[in-house]
Structure 1
């Protein structure tokens, strides 16, 4: 059940430390002493005791990122952001050749004509992303008009050809079950919470589509100012594809 998380954590360094971790109303960020800044969507659920009562500031990235396993989901967001502060950097994007313009984000090269597409979460993406799809299901914990409740995932995802899953499912721990429902689909983990971690492509993901932050000052202001809306204006998007 923890394979995705253990794979993510196994690639983290021992010699970097978290210098700042902040959970805002909409986005959570973590920064490291090597200059990394990672994001995760804030999940405001903190009824369970935290793994780190004193917070994750000052801890090695490898330790603080372990909070992604916490059932205090606000703390889990801090852990995910700490992991992304290592994985989602301009240097890694360049080394992996993963930069992808936002207009092609997620689905570049995929032919969705006649396909059934499932989308877990309300994802911000260009309108042309889903052109040609025969059927699109949007499954959401807080459904809007026309959406399906997330309880329909067990019934609808197994019939989908392509499934896009919000990276915030890493934080709320629903991702392992969702992946089990998508064994026959092209599965894309997407959004600012997604780590640029190629090892995850060996666990059933077809694509990882996320972002790196390039304007740290603006991103801090966005989080500290409790500003709603996606953080894409403060960074660049990436796409990693499996074989």
Structure 2
């Protein structure tokens, strides 16, 4: 299955008449309540002009899901959160996955989990996660960033860096910003981990070249909702979600 097919797969998986109960666009996370809870990272650019504000509750998921294909970052984010609210409410993969009980917080739990496998390997991470630099002594780490700091490489370096990597950690936000198909293609020589609260728990991702899913489950819905509404970013890992990891069969 070609990675480009992920968009049709996600829309097919969310073809339901179930309606949206609530949507919150927080500073860092967008939250959709429907059959279950769906998350997606919010766009980085604030805006005052969202013409559909106040109209989304009681809309059918199947009508909002196609927004994922939009080039408008806010529409695409709403679409992904709505899709995840359906997929992650009933996915059998979640029960099969292993919960992480890390000594480190947030996204670092994923890198801590994989550390025995990636030590001494060429590792590329898409996106600079807070605290990631602590692993630079143990792994050959390169970070690709759309807005790079002096420690990072620009995202355009992906064409050269990813084919040489042993392991690639890919944020699921790449689905929303449409870079997913190309980044997956470039990472075919590596073990590929799709990670983050935006991850849809779908087995077909294994057919697209994803080796591991590192997504989240909701542990406390009300606290998660409150944390997102109050502007929480990495704080959601302390209040409302837990990382889980699953190796996919290709």
TM range (shorter): 0.7 to 0.9
Residues 203-224 of structure 1: CA distance to partner in whole angstroms, max 9, x if unpaired? 1111111112222222222222
Is the 1:50–1:72 contact (alpha carbons within 8 Å) kept by the matching residues of 2? no
Contact 1:31–1:37 under 8 Å retained in 2: yes
Q: How far apart, in 2, do the equivalents of 1:129 and 1:200 lie?
A: 27
- TM-score using structure 1 length: 0.84
Question: Quick one: distance in 2 between partners of 1:99 and 1:113?
Answer: 21
Structure 2 residue matching 1:146: 3-state secondary structure: coil
Q: Give the alignment's Cα RMSD to 1 decimal.
A: 3.0
180, 184, 187: which is aligned to 1:179? 184
Q: In structure 1, what is the equivalent of residue 24 of structure 2? A: 22
Question: What is the aligned partner in structure 1 of residue 58 from structure 2?
Answer: 58
Question: Where do 5+ consecutive residues of structure 1 fail to align?
Answer: none
User: What is residue 243 of structure 2 aligned with on the other side?
Assistant: 237
1:55 shift after superposition: 4.7
Return closer, same or farther for 1:87/1:109 CA change in 2, 3 Å cut-off. Answer: farther
CA deviations on 1:111-158 (whole Å, 9 max, x unpaired) are 22431000001235888878843x110111122331111121111111
Q: 1:66-114 CA deviation, whole Å, 9 max, x = no partner?
A: 211111111111111111112224x646864214214363654962243
The equivalent position to 2:198 in structure 1, one of 193, 196, 206, is: 193
Gaps of 5+ in 2: 103-108
In structure 2, what is the equivalent of residue 137 of structure 1? 142
**Structure 2 CA distance for partners of 1:87 and 1:184, relative to 1, 3 Å:** same
Partner of 2:78: 78
SS in 1 for 2:118: coil
Contact 1:212 1:236 in 2 (8 A): yes
1:1-243 aligned within 5 A: 2-32=4-34, 34=35, 36-45=36-45, 55-89=55-89, 92=91, 96-103=95-102, 105=110, 107-108=113-114, 111-123=117-129, 132-133=138-139, 135-233=140-238, 234-243=240-249
CA deviations on 1:23-79 (whole Å, 9 max, x unpaired) are: 1221101000x3x111110014589x9897875432222332221111111111111
229-238 vs 184-193, greater mean Cα deviation: 229-238
Q: How many residues align?
A: 238
Q: 1:50–1:75: 8 Å Cα contact kept in structure 2? A: no
Give distance in 2, aligned partners of 1:230 and 1:157.
30
User: In the TM superposition, what whole-angstrom CA distance separates every residue of 1:164-192 from its partner, at most 9, and x where no partner exists?
Assistant: 01111111111111112111111111011
Provide the secondary structure at the position in 1 that maps to 2:151: coil
Name the SS for the 1:227 alignment partner: coil
